[in-house]
Amino acid sequence: MSTEVQISLRTIASINPAKGEILREFQCAGEAEVHAAVDRAYAAQSEWSQLGVRRRISILREFQRLLQEKKSDVARLITREAGKPYVEALLTEVMVVLDAARFLIENAYRLLRDEPVPHGNLAMKTKAGRIVREPHGVIGIISPWNYPFSIPATEAMSAMVAGNAVVLKPSEFTSLVALELEKLLHTAGTPKEIFQVIPGDGATGAALIDSGINKLIFTGSVATGKKIAQAAAGRLLPVVLELGGKDPMIVLDDADVEVASSGAIWGAFVNAGQACLSVERCYVHRSLYEPFVAVCARKAKQLRVGDGMNQETEIGPLIHERQLRNVEAHLEDAVSRGARVLAGGTRLRGLGPNFYAPTVLANVNHEMRIMREETFGPVLPIMAFDDDDEAVRLANDSEYGLAASVWTQDRTRGDALARRIHAGTVMVNDSVSCFGISEAPHGGVKASGIGRTHGRFGLEEMVRIKYVDSDRMPGVKKIWWYAYGAAFTRQMEGFLDLQFARGLRQRLRGLVRSAGVFRGKKL
């Protein structure tokens, strides 16, 4: 049996995590299929680029209209395939994409048009320069399962409005949502070759990296991101890597316990904790620690866990068994090292195969895995600190640096502390919602990745920067051309004094010495 036939027989299944039912099975795209998709994208991309930004924006506007009309159908599909509550699918997926489209519709033309570059050097005043933004060509996107609609859609829209073609390899767990995105874009007028979905597993993603794409946008684990970076380095493939986080939440001594605790509960448990922006470490000033952990435990116990299609559900299932085992391993390690379980800490087998009770932990420390490794589950570990400096030190004591939050009633104090935290985003008195701010860049530092998506900086990732310079006096030889000589040297010394000397007298002498430089004979 040939290798190609063997590859074509690989299959993946989309499974409802709340019920364990198979929604659909897919044949994995093999290497030949991936390369063919990229070739089709290349063939169509030039015409797409020449279409112009305004025409591409009109297609994006139609996509936005269609998504608004079909918002409920899309949200229900997300819930069935990813498990999150229906209302969360509306808010954290559909609304995010609608607003990202709004941002690009309003701003893409302005941000992508040529930008004039002024020339301060007197010798260059006869030139007119401009920055030209050109599409990379074909951009590959490898997207995760936890936000299967909003992550690939926001990235793809930016790429395509900039004139690129996109080939998307979704998570093997959420292919149906990706195909729904493809359907909406095609119905809106996006050519089929300009946005293509290739369902598959890790081998499919590897084939996409090796296919000759011009840039890769990847969201996923640090381990996989490092492998992708190594593979991309072999041919200097530019990448944007969003690799998760261990986001800290700092509750200062003047914070409102009632408000901050509600923020902690939502920040830790939204999407069952399966968000790279989740509150995964909570640091509370010692003066508030005991009342804070008590109210968090009480609120966690009140949360309603169940099938996301039930409108009363606040926390859905985890995506699969492996994720549950990771949460259990972190919890077991923490308890063995002295952590106290104040709420949760168990599977909810009566609800289905992948449900876990929202869990609050006290007495944690940085020796525990749950304070150092990404848990990606419904667990809120809370630790005490004594002063602001200690809080910043604890927050920065991590290999991750995606986002963080500071909670205080003193905005000036909060902003000052935010500047000291090593993270791509720091929110004061909120968390997680920064992903829904279309104008704001999304991305991190340290092991949380490189590059940005969303907003102006995310759009800049989708283009190559070219500088174009036109001389306004094409019939005049330039002063810096040959021939050189003693007289020319004296003139240039004076010309530099004229421009850059500190004193007026020295500048005037430079003016005299440089006289004649523009009349000198050139080859």
Give Cα 408 to chain centroid, integer Å.
27
Strands 340-343 and 359-362: antiparallel
Where are the alpha helices (H) located in 90-174, listed in sequence order? 95-112, 150-161
Q: CA torsion, points 298, 299, 301, 302, in degrees to nearest 10?
A: 120
Every domain of the chain and the residues it spans: 3-118+126-243+457-466, 247-437, 477-523
pLDDT at 60 over 80: yes
pLDDT digits (tens, 9 = 90+) for 417-440: 999 999 999 999 999 999 999 999
Q: Rounded CA gap, 303 and 344, in Å?
A: 11
Q: Which residues pair with 7 in a beta bridge?
A: none
Q: Please identify which residue in the block is written with the tokens 């900039």.
A: 162
Which positions ≥6 away from 396 have C-beta within 8 Å? 420, 421, 422
Q: Rounded CA gap, 368 and 135, in Å?
A: 45
Strands 11-15 and 22-27: antiparallel
pLDDT of amino acid 522: 78
Instruction: Considering the candidates 28, 88, 155, 276, report the single residue annotated as catalytic.
Output: 276
**Axis crossing angle, helix 150-161 with helix 53-69, rounded to the nearest 10:** 160
* Residues 22-51 as b or e (16 or more Cβ within 10 Å = b): eeeebebbbbebbbebbebbbebbeebbee
Q: How confident is the model at residue 517 (pLDDT cuts 50, 70, 90)?
A: confident
The closest alpha carbon to 429, from 271, 276, 298, 258, belongs to: 258
Is 493 known to be catalytic? no
pLDDT of amino acid 521: 73
The closest alpha carbon to 395, from 267, 279, 474, 311, belongs to: 279
Q: Rounded CA gap, 488 and 400, in Å?
A: 56
Q: Which residues pair with 360 in a beta bridge?
A: 343, 380
pLDDT at 305 over 90: yes
The closest alpha carbon to 62, from 89, 101, 8, 30, belongs to: 101
Q: Please identify which residue in the block is written with the tokens 């399966």.
A: 274
Window from 1-15, 337-351, 352-366, 461-475 with minimum mean pLDDT: 1-15
pLDDT digits (tens, 9 = 90+) for 464-489: 999 999 999 999 888 889 989 999 99
Given this structure, which CATH class describes domain 3-118+126-243+457-466?
Answer: alpha beta
Identify the three-state secondary structure at position 57: helix
Percent of the chain with pLDDT over 70: 98
Percent of the chain with pLDDT over 90: 94
Q: Which residues pair with 466 in a beta bridge?
A: 132
Q: How far apart are the first and last CA of the chain?
A: 70
* Residues 450-470 as b or e (16 or more Cβ within 10 Å = b): bbbbbbeebbbbbbeeeeeee
pLDDT at 301 over 80: yes
pLDDT of amino acid 7: 44
Look up residue 27 and give its two tokens.
């044949």
Q: How confident is the model at residue 133 (pLDDT cuts 50, 70, 90)?
A: very high
Cβ proximity of 284 and 296 under 8 Å: no
Q: Please identify which residue in the block is written with the tokens 């421009």.
A: 499
pLDDT at 457 over 90: yes
Mean pLDDT for the stretch of residues 489-518: 92
* Residues 299-330 as b or e (16 or more Cβ within 10 Å = b): bbeebebbbbbeeebbbbbbbbeebbebbeeb
pTM of the full predicted structure? 0.95
pLDDT at 504 over 50: yes
Cβ proximity of 358 and 305 under 8 Å: yes
Given this structure, which CATH class describes domain 247-437?
Answer: alpha beta
Give the mean pLDDT of the chain.
96
pLDDT of amino acid 2: 39
**Stronger pLDDT, 519 or 138, i.e. the higher one:** 138
pLDDT at 310 over 60: yes
Is 69 known to be catalytic? no
pLDDT digits (tens, 9 = 90+) for 202-260: 999 999 999 999 999 999 999 999 999 999 999 999 999 999 999 999 999 999 999 99
- Sequence-distant contacts of 355-358: CB under 8 A, at least 24 apart: 355/18, 355/305, 355/306, 355/316, 355/317, 355/318, 356/272, 356/318, 356/324, 356/327, 357/305, 358/265, 358/268, 358/269, 358/300, 358/301, 358/303, 358/305, 358/315
Instruction: Considering the candidates 93, 242, 314, 373, report the single residue annotated as catalytic.
Output: 242
The closest alpha carbon to 251, from 223, 283, 205, belongs to: 283
